[in-house]
Amino acid sequence: DGGITQSPKYLFRKEGQNVTLSCEQNLNHDAMYWYRQDPGQGLRLIYYSQIVNDFQKGDIAEGYSVSREKKESFPLTVTSAQKNPTAFYLCASGLWTGLYGYTFGSGTRLTVV
């Protein structure tokens, strides 16, 4: 079945550590996105990529980094510079036109301990 796989489902991080969240899709979508979901704030865009080896900052990119070396993969690194990293992170993919909306992964819940 085609879809998006995010791993791990739950992740615990100590303060000062970098962690990388995985996102893989087999939908042959050109565009991939990372959103952060916090209660009462909806989904906020962190980074997005329309093609391989290219990506752009979203609304809340500070403290995060990404790479897009393969069409299928768009990992997100939450760095120690991110002041409030505890959140639910959602990866999505879609056609480059954005016309049909996105397909979402099941998310990763990151907790800083």
Partner 1 sequence: AQSVSQHNHHVILSEAASLELGCNYSYGGTVNLFWYVQYPGQHLQLLLKYFSGDPLVKGIKGFEAEFIKSKFSFNLRKPSVQWSDTAEYFCAVGGSNDYKLSFGAGTTVTVRA
Contacting residues toward partner 1, per CB under 8 A: 31, 33, 35, 40-45, 48, 50, 58, 90, 92, 94, 96-102, 104-107
Structure tokens at 86: 């505890």
Residue type, 38: D
User: How far, in Å, CA of 43 to CA of 21, rounded?
Assistant: 17
> Of 83, 113, 111, 105, whose CA–CA distance to 35 is shortest?
105
Report the residue number, 58 or 75, with the smaller CB distance to partner 1: 58
Contact criterion met (CB below 8 Å) for 112 and 85: yes
Report the residue number, 2 or 16, with the smaller CB distance to partner 1: 2
Report the residue number, 7 or 17, with the smaller CB distance to partner 1: 7
Tell how strand 108-112 and strand 10-13 pair up.
Answer: parallel
Closest approach, Cβ 29 to partner 1, in A, equals: 11
Closest approach, Cβ 103 to partner 1, in A, equals: 8
Closest approach, Cβ 99 to partner 1, in A, equals: 6
Report the residue number, 17 or 26, with the smaller CB distance to partner 1: 26
Contact criterion met (CB below 8 Å) for 110 and 86: yes
